[in-house]
Structure 1
């Protein structure tokens, strides 16, 4: 009663409770989202199943790591990450609908077939068995001692599970794909039957020369409506931009050269002018402290040198200086420090690791101490030194299983292209053929044997003192003034006025580009400000005609962006796909006019039609399997050839390259090699190969996919 009394006193609370209850029953979840706002941690839904921000970030992180390892660009992967998650959700849903389950037992039995492990020799023992127990132990150790590595495994495991489900799902479905005898017989008929036809073709291109047609926006829109799946569009913006590069002036160029000459001839401020690039005793340190490019300690071949040095280096003396000279946007002075032949060396080794090394921290089966490892390495070295044949027997002790499987061979290397850690590489470079030694690195003790050496060309060690020609503050301010004046002159103006002013002043101008919210880079720019420009364009307050100015970090370049158009999710805006579909639509408009003219003429023969359109009658052999008519692929014409009665004039056929009138003269059968069994198997294989992509596309086209990213996105979504 006390509670009821409190509610009676607070009638406003009672009304609120009732209202919320009604809302829960009457309003669908999407409407509730609109009332209360989207959950910022839910980026979308696939058939009602959520895609969370954490899932997206994990997928993006994995892709960025993979791109980094492969030396690829890590920007602009957001949209790919989203598409992978959408497809993964669809596959998981179908996987579960089929009653399949990815149990822990199945996961571990299938792990060896995943691309992450299938090509990794280290994941398998000498008999080719996957090291399941070792890998499980490694994961357990990560969980206890290396949380970062363990978390990365959990993220990778989710992606692996999706790939497993896809492989099992498609494997189960494609195993049921068959081809019937009737299907094979029909395919053979399509292949072997050849129709001989007379035809008249009214070519679209020729007809358009005398009957010009304009493709309107409405024509494009009508075509798009007829193909809604093909032209399903995500939200996009149409952007134009003028680019104002902060190009160094002649004065900036001269100032850079003067700065380099001072370091080369006079010396640094720190040395009061007593140490310069000519007299320094520590070339590498001088370069590191004063140059805009780092010191490279490796020996290089003449082909790797700047053009200024290639023809002079062979006769140069140690200590000789070249320059100053200009190489792209750098002023450079180069000094020859050393030269020596580039011997190519083939090496093998046995690695004896211990528990405190990089190897031991990853592989818990390595339990020996450093002292034990040293003792074993010395023992093996003594045996190999006395009898090189024992090297093969001692490979069983090596903790580098990959090279051990190859007889310990780690390939060829040169001083100019080193591939080993410094201690290992030094022994390889300095030792003659047949030499054996023990070298310690962070991986343990290596018993190294030099298998072979081949003399190579001369290589050179060179120090480059370089200064980048940069725009001065004065130049950058001039560029800012120029860009600011331009944006003031175009603010509130039409796109044509924006374009005309940019072209009149000979500013670098790019025609409008269609960009997605999460594509990361702008076509034609690829600067560190691209993502900021895209985010600005997708701001809820942004309107067509808005402009803004952006500064590129490090260069001082300016970008003035202009919003030309806005495309919400739905069917593509006709004008944004005009270049793509205008030729097709134009042919359809022409076909309509041609057919109307043919029907109005009521022609009873091909000769009448040919005369009316100023063309000639043609003849061809066509079949349904390869529907080529005098070099043009025309499947509808081939269909008409077999569909019309012999010696009867067909209705007008709207072809790919023109409108045709067809008269079938005869049909003959050319029996080609291949029996029913072979054709049936070929159809089955072809259907199986095409199925995966078609099935996944069908799932995506028919799915209820909600994308909330634009509504909830902020910079915390990106790592």
Structure 2
């Protein structure tokens, strides 16, 4: 009743809401967006289908996880995630238009063909059968026992569904690609017929030496308008920057070395005495407290050591120190703590996990796990043959199929320390119970092999950093530069940077969500991009950014702003200027040829200071004296015999062609072979071309720049 009363009090608001709802049917949705602002939960639309913030976050999360697993950078994946979602929406739309349906039964039957599963043998038994029921059972259990894993599965499931739709869609479409007998016969004719020609070529490069043309911004714009699909772009910024590194000075270098020598020889006051790196009784703690790199407890091979130690370590005594020496941006003193052979051990285990253990999905308590492990260990110790039966109780995935084996390991392997300790301190054939962060392991050592010598080393290291004085000098330098270039043109910014030999770069097309700047790759890249895309930002604006941890300064400059639509001519000048220049030259050459009204190749050759040439050309491989010229080949077959062609605008020059004859050179391959070859080639090329066509012709609305920094609606 209180709720109804509140509604009555706000009846005017209810009327307003109803009126707004009616208005929504009468006006364009884009108009409502302009009045009330974009929904921050909707990042874009593909032919009306929304791309939500949650969808984008899920896709990005999956890609970051994959990158992390593969040891690749996790930054700068936002644009890739967006493109995958756009293409997934397009595929789903076409999938549904064709009347196809991805049922639950189809999903599970096709799961084994998805790359996540198809490329991982652990999902198949020794006969190659897909372990579908085990996988489904594990997923069902995780729904209640491990919600995080289940949530991750749901994120991946959506991506898997899109991939399945793509396979089914393209499979249906490409199965309908055929090649007619007529098409194959025509292709054979194009391949075998050769036109014998005389020609004159007015080369663009040679002609431009005496008749140079300047390509204006308008010339570039005109070309872009003629090819709108090719130059359709998303919003971007043309950014330039000058980089001012806070490089440590000679004084900074010396100060770092003095600091290291003090820790190495004189030490620190500890427990009323002087402890240094030479006399410390706890090397690992001393390193952790005083070094700029952490203590590494693992044993390593000589190849994993700094070059300063590689040739000396074999004859070194335990406790011997090396240094100080310089290793990249560090001053280092190293101490040999221990050495031993890197025995390789083959082992197997039964894992009894408990709730709270690392990677555990078990609900048993730690006490219950300990009782189970103790009981099972007693049985196996009395009868080692019972180990195989005990594997059925193991919480390790696929333990029975793998016989509990973890393969060959060494002391340097990435395993739980307690597990490695048991392997190191017990002989071949030993079985024991060992606790680690993962639970209780019943371990059996199956075999041991002696290996090369490995070394345990403590490194006391200090980063050679720029001092406050050096950083202030860099700040002064960057500040002076920004004051000199404020309000100036891009050319003045560039010229001053190059004159002073500052590091300069101009990545011309930077997307809002690409994450990093080409050639820069600092923690400030994303900040610079965000700054450049600010609505208040204007062409010519500058600002200083400080790189964390180094004191380096970056002065950024907004060269240009590209809104969604056709590309700004100057941002693609490097890409299209040679093409446009050749077109301008071609027009001059053709105008001159037409004005000369030449009746023979000799006349044209003399007028342009070039020579007449001869050759053969066909339509299948339109090579004219080393240059690929499709239009020239077309003119050669299209011109009447013994008659001069019209000027042909080619790729490398303007041609006049005189066709003398056409001959046939029959090559191997019958109609059937050619038909199969064309069909296969078209099928391979079709999927990419089809997807590009869908994207080029789709109504794609990208709201990310407008809504990205807004908080999602609660």
Provide TM-score, normalisation by structure 2.
Answer: 0.90
For 1:353 and 1:13, how far apart are their aligned partners in 2?
A: 61
Q: Identify which range, 86-95 or 191-200, moves more after superposition.
A: 191-200
For 1:93 and 1:500, how far apart are their aligned partners in 2?
A: 51
Q: CA offset at residue 670 of structure 1?
A: 2.3
Alignment pair present for 1:641 and 2:640: no
For 1:26 and 1:666, how far apart are their aligned partners in 2?
A: 68
Q: State the partner residue of 2:492.
A: 497
Q: CA offset at residue 82 of structure 1?
A: 0.9
Matches within 5 A, 1:694-705: 694-705=689-700
Deviations 1:279-308 (A, max 9, x none): 011111111111000111222222222222
Give 5+ residue unaligned stretches, structure 1.
Answer: 1-9
Candidates 555, 563, 572, aligned match of 1:568: 563
Alignment pair present for 1:681 and 2:676: yes
Sort the Cα spacing of 1:413 and 1:453 in 2 relative to 1 into closer, same or farther, 3 A.
Answer: same
Q: State the partner residue of 1:285.
A: 285
For 2:413 and 2:134, how far apart are their aligned partners in 1?
A: 32
- Please tell me whether the aligned partners of residues 64 and 74 of structure 1 are also in contact (alpha carbons under 8 angstroms): yes
Q: State the partner residue of 2:615.
A: 620
Deviations 1:163-193 (A, max 9, x none): 1111111111111111111111111222222
For 1:403 and 1:121, how far apart are their aligned partners in 2?
A: 14
- Please tell me whether the aligned partners of residues 269 and 275 of structure 2 are also in contact (alpha carbons under 8 angstroms): no
Q: Identify which range, 609-618 or 16-25, moves more after superposition.
A: 16-25
Sort the Cα spacing of 1:578 and 1:693 in 2 relative to 1 into closer, same or farther, 3 A.
Answer: same
- Please tell me whether the aligned partners of residues 431 and 450 of structure 1 are also in contact (alpha carbons under 8 angstroms): no
For 1:461 and 1:445, how far apart are their aligned partners in 2?
A: 26
SS state at 2:550 partner: coil
Q: CA offset at residue 234 of structure 1?
A: 1.0
Deviations 1:112-140 (A, max 9, x none): 22112222223234443333333333333
For 1:131 and 1:15, how far apart are their aligned partners in 2?
A: 59
Alignment pair present for 1:418 and 2:413: yes
For 2:378 and 2:613, how far apart are their aligned partners in 1?
A: 88
For 1:262 and 1:578, how far apart are their aligned partners in 2?
A: 58
Sort the Cα spacing of 1:142 and 1:606 in 2 relative to 1 into closer, same or farther, 3 A.
Answer: same
For 1:405 and 1:146, how far apart are their aligned partners in 2?
A: 23
Sort the Cα spacing of 1:683 and 1:281 in 2 relative to 1 into closer, same or farther, 3 A.
Answer: same
Alignment pair present for 1:330 and 2:330: yes
Q: CA offset at residue 427 of structure 1?
A: 4.3
For 1:381 and 1:230, how far apart are their aligned partners in 2?
A: 73
Q: State the partner residue of 1:65.
A: 65
Q: CA offset at residue 235 of structure 1?
A: 0.9
Sort the Cα spacing of 1:18 and 1:319 in 2 relative to 1 into closer, same or farther, 3 A.
Answer: closer
Candidates 643, 652, 655, aligned match of 2:647: 652
Deviations 1:392-443 (A, max 9, x none): 999888776768656766444443x4243333333444556x5443353536
- Please tell me whether the aligned partners of residues 284 and 463 of structure 1 are also in contact (alpha carbons under 8 angstroms): yes
Q: Identify which range, 519-528 or 117-126, moves more after superposition.
A: 117-126
SS state at 1:274 partner: strand
- Please tell me whether the aligned partners of residues 350 and 397 of structure 1 are also in contact (alpha carbons under 8 angstroms): no
Give 5+ residue unaligned stretches, structure 2.
Answer: 1-9
Alignment pair present for 1:211 and 2:211: yes
For 1:272 and 1:561, how far apart are their aligned partners in 2?
A: 52
Q: State the partner residue of 1:4.
A: none
Deviations 1:176-216 (A, max 9, x none): 11111111111122222222222221111111112111111
Q: CA offset at residue 270 of structure 1?
A: 3.7
Sort the Cα spacing of 1:659 and 1:360 in 2 relative to 1 into closer, same or farther, 3 A.
Answer: closer
For 2:14 and 2:66, how far apart are their aligned partners in 1?
A: 56
Q: CA offset at residue 349 of structure 1?
A: 2.3
Q: State the partner residue of 2:666.
A: 671
- Please tell me whether the aligned partners of residues 353 and 359 of structure 1 are also in contact (alpha carbons under 8 angstroms): no
Matches within 5 A, 1:81-480: 81-343=81-343, 345=344, 347-351=346-350, 353=352, 361-362=360-361, 370-376=370-376, 379-380=379-380, 410-415=406-411, 417-430=412-425, 434-440=428-434, 441=436, 442=438, 444-451=440-447, 453-456=449-452, 458-480=453-475
Q: CA offset at residue 638 of structure 1?
A: 1.6
Provide TM-score, normalisation by structure 1.
Answer: 0.90
Aligned length: 698
SS state at 1:528 partner: coil
For 2:322 and 2:338, how far apart are their aligned partners in 1?
A: 14
Deviations 1:540-559 (A, max 9, x none): 11111111121211122221
For 1:322 and 1:37, how far apart are their aligned partners in 2?
A: 65
Candidates 575, 578, 582, aligned match of 1:583: 578
For 2:422 and 2:600, how far apart are their aligned partners in 1?
A: 90
For 1:495 and 1:269, how far apart are their aligned partners in 2?
A: 56
Q: CA offset at residue 383 of structure 1?
A: 5.3
Candidates 551, 557, 561, aligned match of 2:552: 557
Sort the Cα spacing of 1:715 and 1:69 in 2 relative to 1 into closer, same or farther, 3 A.
Answer: farther
Q: CA offset at residue 452 of structure 1?
A: 5.3
For 2:153 and 2:403, how far apart are their aligned partners in 1?
A: 32
SS state at 2:275 partner: coil
Sort the Cα spacing of 1:342 and 1:24 in 2 relative to 1 into closer, same or farther, 3 A.
Answer: closer
Candidates 532, 537, 553, aligned match of 2:527: 532
